[in-house]
């Protein structure tokens, strides 16, 4: 089952989308990494990019930066095919953290800023600023390798933010962070999004994604299998009901229900989970329940994002 019906039409520069990935395809030998992958990311919000391991997330992100050549497809930025110049206004935090272990932190950030067209002095200023902001004040002259894993990750984030990018792409930014680090990272991403930056990040921590993102794209085997607002995905295309009738722990009252009205998805301690048929009236289910006994619980039941993920990818997170 896929929820791609919610996807914007491929290739059309839909309003309010700044980054568009159109039909990205790439094979590595016999392995298909990307298979016509298409989705758009709007500016001003934090957008989650999900998928099982090997789904093609990292390849997609590398393709945005031209670090992986595409067999076909196009990356578009603000309605135009992305150029080298536009890419200098992007910030990237790769999955495998990459900085010079033996180089001083301040020098390192200054260097990366200058590679993004900053002058030496403004790069130095921005580096000091982010070092302070990320709680690393006093470590400027220290070497990267002397920092803890979490602090190295903060430096990596600073490297991506140095030149005040218009698009921020982060591959697993939360991996390996302690709760304090997660809070800092969340706050910075949200703040960047409020400032109008397009923020795309991948993660396996779906609870976190549920909490931070307004919208997500879920991919599997190089294609998008679900995308849209988190709330819409959790509601799903078929509303679901949770109903409990007193004295019926097996939920046997629901068995005679007409499948054209609702079908049973599961029973858990007397709580029957029902998928409502398209166009069906939920009140007919309530009537049937009431006829069987006292209704203790009756509600629409949203799925968790992790359930959506499992449904569309067929895999656990």
What residues line the site for another protein (CB under 8 A)? 62, 65-68, 84, 87-88, 90, 92, 94, 96-101, 103, 107, 111-112, 114-117, 159
Q: Which residues contact 172 (CB under 8 A, 6 or more apart)?
A: 95, 201, 202, 203, 204
Q: What angle do CA 36, 316, 254 make, to 5 degrees?
A: 105
Residue 62 beta carbon to another protein: minimum distance, rounded to whole angstroms: 7
C-alpha 117 chain-centroid distance: 29
**Which residue lies nearer to another protein by CB, 68 or 264?**
68
Residue 295 and residue 200 in contact, taking contact as beta carbons nearer than 8 Å: no
The Cα–Cα gap between 210 and 50 comes to 11
Residue 287 beta carbon to another protein: minimum distance, rounded to whole angstroms: 60
**Which residue lies nearer to another protein by CB, 185 or 274?**
185
Q: Is 100 helix (H, G, I), strand (E, B) or coil?
A: coil
- Which alpha helices (DSSP H) does 135-226 contain, by range? 149-161, 179-194, 206-212
The continuous run of DSSP H or E covering 272 comes out as: strand 271-276
Residue 237 beta carbon to another protein: minimum distance, rounded to whole angstroms: 38
The Cα–Cα gap between 52 and 309 comes to 9
**Which residue lies nearer to another protein by CB, 68 or 242?**
68
Residue 34 beta carbon to another protein: minimum distance, rounded to whole angstroms: 16
Strand partners, 168: 91, 199
**Which residue lies nearer to another protein by CB, 111 or 309?**
111
Q: In 198-270, where do the E strands start and end?
A: 198-202, 215-220, 223-229, 240-245, 262-268
**Which residue lies nearer to another protein by CB, 143 or 221?**
143
Q: What angle do CA 46, 74, 39 make, to 5 degrees?
A: 35
**Which residue lies nearer to another protein by CB, 151 or 227?**
151
Residue 53 beta carbon to another protein: minimum distance, rounded to whole angstroms: 15
Residue 209 beta carbon to another protein: minimum distance, rounded to whole angstroms: 23
**Which residue lies nearer to another protein by CB, 176 or 314?**
176
**Which residue lies nearer to another protein by CB, 185 or 272?**
185
Residue 52 beta carbon to another protein: minimum distance, rounded to whole angstroms: 19
Q: Which residues contact 313 (CB under 8 A, 6 or more apart)?
A: 51, 52, 55, 218, 220, 225
Residue 13 beta carbon to another protein: minimum distance, rounded to whole angstroms: 24
């Amino acid at each position: 089952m896929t929820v791609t019906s919610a996807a914007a039409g491929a290739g059309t520069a839909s309003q309010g989308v700044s980054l568009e990935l159109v039909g990205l395809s790439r094979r590595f030998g016999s392995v298909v990494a990307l298979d016509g992958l298409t989705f758009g990311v709007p500016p001003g919000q934090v957008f989650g990019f999900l998928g099982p391991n090997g789904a093609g997330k990292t390849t997609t992100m590398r393709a945005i930066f031209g670090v992986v050549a595409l067999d076909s497809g196009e990356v578009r930025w603000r309605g135009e095919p992305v150029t080298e110049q536009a890419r200098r206004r992007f910030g990237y935090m790769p999955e495998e953290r990459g900085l010079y272990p033996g180089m001083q932190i301040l020098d390192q950030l200054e260097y990366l800023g200058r590679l993004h067209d900053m002058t030496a002095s403004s790069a130095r200023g921005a580096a000091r600023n982010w070092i302070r902001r990320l709680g690393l004040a006093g470590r400027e002259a220290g070497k990267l390798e002397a920092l803890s894993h979490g602090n190295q990750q903060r430096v990596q984030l600073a490297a991506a933010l140095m030149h005040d990018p218009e698009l921020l792409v982060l591959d697993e930014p939360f991996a390996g962070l302690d709760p304090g680090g997660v809070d800092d990272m969340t706050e910075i991403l949200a703040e960047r999004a409020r400032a109008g930056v397009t923020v795309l990040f991948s993660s396996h921590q779906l609870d976190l994604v549920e909490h931070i993102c307004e919208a997500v794209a879920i991919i599997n085997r190089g294609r998008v299998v679900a995308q849209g607002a988190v709330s819409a995905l959790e509601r799903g295309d078929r509303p679901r009901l949770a109903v409990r009738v007193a004295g019926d722990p097996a939920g046997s009252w629901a068995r005679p229900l007409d499948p054209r009205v609702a079908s049973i998805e599961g029973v858990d301690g007397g709580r029957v989970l029902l998928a409502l048929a398209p166009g069906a009236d939920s009140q007919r289910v309530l009537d049937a329940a009431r006829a069987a006994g006292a209704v203790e619980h009756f509600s629409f039941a949203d799925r968790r994002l992790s359930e959506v993920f499992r449904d569309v990818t067929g895999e656990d997170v």
